[in-house]
């Protein structure tokens, strides 16, 4: 099966075509420092050809939820070194997913400071998880043009910090309603400066961040995650096909390792104004970099996507969470552990490092 074949992405050769996708697990301490449990968690899953970490805050300003890790202090960097060393010792690659949450945040966990966003527009409906329980979303503070440029530089510094921490590369989290995605969406971005007002301007932030990451550490160590039709975080684009077609065309002018293309989660209905097309089949062939297909893939659907040439690798999230030896289980057609959704976010080893291996 192609899932078990080696694959070259960037300058790296993955031992198989199965990638562990990023999943927020909220097991860092309040200072954003990961510990021994996180080291064990990723080491257990080093059977993946490559691991994409949970999203990592690039700065104090980037923080959206409690107990999520950072990579902007020396203590955080040093803690991640233990994780990357352990994953490498167990034969896998590990990329840091770089995160700025933008308006998907709350002042409770930000020392009373409001979240920032392209425009002062709150997410409508839903609640945000905070240290004090679910809370209504706040109206964020609109970033100045100078602050936007400072955040772009924060991404570059976070990439350098990631390399210092021993990561093989970084992935820009450009999906799921976080800051780069907010800049793309007209319902979250009503700016009148160079970062808003047209598809070209709305795309500028993400493109400048990618350029900065590539300049900082080299394109062969940079990836991006995109979710064209995912409405998480209240994101609605006027014309997602036109926006992402332009964005991909501009990204194609850069040299970088991969684009993880996330299909809309079945948990979210297709927005009425969005076309009912398969994102992977439509956008995948337009992307020059290696494509990693993501979201709700099974062994069979992942293999089919590889067979069709739609992707070079498949990223699995919840399946890797519950099955640290997922490649072996796929190889043997063994039963799969089911994920405990009550323990996904926060807590200790339960639902984190206690999922059994086949041998157990």
Q: For the chain, which domains are there? A: 2-343 (3.20.20.70)
Q: Return the structure tokens found at 340.
A: 């405990």
With residue 36 as reference, give the H or E element that holds it: helix 36-44
56 in Cβ contact with 71 (< 8 Å): yes
What pTM was computed for the model?
A: 0.98
Residue 293 CB partners (closer than 8 Å, separation 6+): 260, 261, 263, 280, 284, 302, 305, 310, 311, 313, 314, 315
Q: Report, as residue numbers or ranges, the catalytic residues.
A: 178
Distance CA 114, CA 33 (A): 23
Q: Return the structure tokens found at 224.
A: 């991006």
143-152 average pLDDT score: 98
Residue 305 pLDDT grade (very low, low, confident, very high; cuts 50, 70, 90): very high
Residue 51 pLDDT grade (very low, low, confident, very high; cuts 50, 70, 90): very high
Residue 301: per-residue pLDDT: 98
């Amino acid at each position: 099966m192609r899932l078990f074949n080696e694959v070259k992405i960037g300058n790296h050769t993955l031992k198989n075509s199965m990638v562990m996708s990023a999943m927020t697990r909220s097991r860092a301490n309040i200072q954003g420092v990961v510990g021994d449990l996180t080291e064990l968690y990723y080491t257990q899953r080093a059977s993946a050809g490559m691991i994409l970490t949970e999203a990592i805050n690039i700065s104090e300003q980037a923080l959206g939820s409690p107990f999520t890790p950072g990579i902007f202090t020396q203590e955080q960097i040093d803690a991640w070194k233990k994780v990357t060393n352990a994953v490498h010792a167990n034969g896998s690659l590990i990329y840091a997913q770089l995160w700025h949450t933008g308006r998907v945040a709350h002042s409770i966990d930000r020392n009373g400071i409001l979240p920032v966003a392209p425009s002062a527009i709150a997410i409508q409906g839903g609640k945000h998880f905070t240290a004090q329980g679910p809370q209504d979303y706040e109206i964020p503070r609109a970033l100045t043009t100078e602050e936007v440029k400072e955040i772009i530089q924060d991404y570059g510094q976070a990439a350098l910090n990631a390399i210092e921490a021993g990561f093989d590369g970084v992935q820009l989290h450009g999906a799921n309603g976080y800051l780069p995605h907010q800049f793309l969406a007209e319902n979250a971005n009503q700016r009148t400066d160079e970062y808003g007002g047209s598809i070209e301007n709305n795309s500028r932030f993400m493109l400048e961040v990618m350029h900065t990451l590539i300049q900082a550490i080299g394109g062969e160590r940079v990836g991006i995650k995109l979710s064209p039709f995912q409405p998480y975080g209240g994101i609605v684009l006027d014309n997602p096909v036109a926006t992402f077609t332009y964005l991909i065309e501009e990204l194609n002018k850069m040299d970088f390792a991969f684009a993880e293309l996330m299909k809309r989660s079945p948990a979210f209905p297709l927005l009425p104004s969005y076309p009912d097309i398969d994102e992977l089949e439509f956008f995948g062939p337009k992307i020059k970099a290696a494509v990693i297909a993501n979201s709700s893939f099974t062994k069979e659907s992942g293999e089919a996507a590889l067979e069709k040439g739609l992707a070079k690798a498949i990223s699995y999230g919840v399946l890797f969470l519950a099955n640290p030896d997922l490649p072996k289980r796929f190889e043997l057609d063994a039963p799969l552990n089911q994920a405990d959704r009550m323990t996904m976010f926060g807590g200790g080893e339960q639902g984190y490092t206690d999922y059994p291996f086949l041998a157990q």
